[in-house]
């Protein structure tokens, strides 16, 4: 009788373990990232397509997990959901930044009006006030740039990663457009403020064109970003550029929207001691 009771207990324990819910850390991270993005008040205005794409990939990942598909399949789908969510967060961050710039412009106009009103009473006092106001505005803008950088640099298993989209370059070209100056100024300042941090700059392309063409284009784009940072005062020893071509897509190349996401430059940050996480280069890790 005791043996029967013990056997029944063991069978119940095995059944309970088999029915326990499965957990996947990368899936949990993607779910949390999407939840954070969805809660932002600007998400529908700035990143509704990214949210839809992230939800679709997340649903596929959850289904794959429930169906006990290979971990590599679940991780890849979860990674795509995470990248869609991160792309949405970057767009939302840009929308917030535009709002901040608009508010800053309103403040600037108000200060200029007050300065003009004071000019009639005391020209010297007005000039001093304008100077102090300009310095305060520059400090506020610098702080806002740092905060935006922190939002765009997302923590991954490779370390913090900041993504620069392909809109910084003309099609098929590796020359940075003037519109890239703001992002590069912000990134260079962050690196100068953190003197021990190094960056790995990785260029990526879509699948259009030959392997050799895409690898060379991605390398030249990564090097263009490295050169731009160097010209802004970041020492060359802290910069490593490489081209990975079309090997690591984050979206389907079957659509123009997907190809645009795949055309990117990723900035991987080291830790405070200048060390990269193991497998920090996408070229030496698998997806």
> Do 169 and 260 reside in the same domain of the chain?
yes
Q: What is the pLDDT of residue 154?
A: 78
Regions of the chain with pLDDT less than 50:
2, 4-21, 140-141, 144-145, 147-149, 151, 283-287
Per DSSP, which regions of the chain are E strands?
154-156, 159-165, 199-204, 239-243, 264-269
> Do 96 and 209 reside in the same domain of the chain?
no
Q: What is the pLDDT of residue 56?
A: 92
> Do 60 and 110 reside in the same domain of the chain?
yes
Nearest to 119 by CA among 111, 107, 109, 127: 127
Q: What is the pLDDT of residue 281?
A: 54
3-state secondary structure of 202: strand
How many Cβ atoms sit within 10 Å of the Cβ of residue 137?
A: 14
Tokens (6 digits) for 197: 């941090």
Q: What is the pLDDT of residue 1?
A: 52
Last residue in a domain, options 131, 151, 171: 151
Separation of alpha carbons 97 and 269, rounded Å: 23
- Is residue 62 in a domain? yes
Render pLDDT for 222-272 as a digit per residue (tens, 0 to 9): 999 999 999 999 999 999 999 999 999 999 999 999 998 898 999 998 888
Separation of alpha carbons 45 and 187, rounded Å: 26
Q: What is the pLDDT of residue 147?
A: 42
Nearest to 61 by CA among 27, 18, 29: 27
Phi/psi of residue 182, nearest 5 degrees:
-65, -45
> Do 28 and 113 reside in the same domain of the chain?
yes
Q: What is the pLDDT of residue 280?
A: 53
Separation of alpha carbons 228 and 134, rounded Å: 27
> Do 108 and 129 reside in the same domain of the chain?
yes
- Is residue 7 in a domain? no
> Do 137 and 204 reside in the same domain of the chain?
no
Separation of alpha carbons 230 and 224, rounded Å: 10
Separation of alpha carbons 75 and 120, rounded Å: 67
Phi/psi of residue 53, nearest 5 degrees:
-65, -40
> Do 196 and 262 reside in the same domain of the chain?
yes
Phi/psi of residue 196, nearest 5 degrees:
-95, -5
| Structural domain boundaries, residue 137 | 22-151
Render pLDDT for 189-229 as a digit per residue (tens, 0 to 9): 888 888 888 999 999 999 999 999 999 999 999 999 999 99
> Do 94 and 191 reside in the same domain of the chain?
no
Q: What is the pLDDT of residue 136?
A: 63
């Amino acid at each position: 009788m005791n043996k029967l009771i013990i056997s029944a207990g063991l069978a119940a324990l095995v059944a309970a373990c088999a029915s326990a819910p499965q957990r996947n850390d990368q899936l949990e991270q993607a779910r949390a990232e999407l939840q954070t993005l969805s809660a932002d008040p600007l998400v529908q205005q700035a990143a509704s397509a990214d949210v839809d794409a992230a939800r679709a990939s997340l649903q596929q990942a959850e289904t794959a997990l429930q169906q006990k598909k290979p971990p590599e399949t679940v991780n890849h789908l979860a990674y795509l959901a995470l990248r869609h969510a991160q792309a949405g967060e970057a767009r939302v961050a840009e929308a917030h930044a535009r709002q901040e710039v608009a508010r800053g412009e309103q403040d600037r106009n108000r200060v200029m009006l007050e300065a003009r009103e004071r000019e009639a009473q005391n020209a010297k006092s007005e000039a001093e006030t304008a100077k102090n106001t300009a310095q305060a505005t520059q400090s506020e803008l610098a702080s806002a740039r740092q905060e935006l950088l922190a939002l765009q640099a997302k923590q991954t298993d490779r370390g913090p990663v900041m993504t620069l989209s392909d809109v910084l370059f003309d099609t098929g070209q590796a020359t940075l457009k003037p519109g890239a100056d703001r992002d590069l100024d912000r990134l260079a300042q962050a690196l100068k403020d953190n003197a021990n941090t190094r960056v790995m700059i990785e260029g990526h392309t879509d699948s259009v064109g030959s392997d050799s063409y895409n690898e060379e284009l991605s390398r030249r784009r990564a090097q263009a970003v490295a050169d731009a940072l160097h010209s802004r005062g970041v020492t060359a020893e802290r910069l490593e550029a490489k081209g990975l071509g079309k090997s690591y897509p984050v979206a389907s190349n079957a659509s123009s929207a997907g190809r645009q996401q795949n055309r990117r430059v990723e900035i991987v940050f080291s830790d405070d001691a200048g060390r990269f996480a193991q497998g920090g280069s996408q070229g030496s890790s698998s997806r």
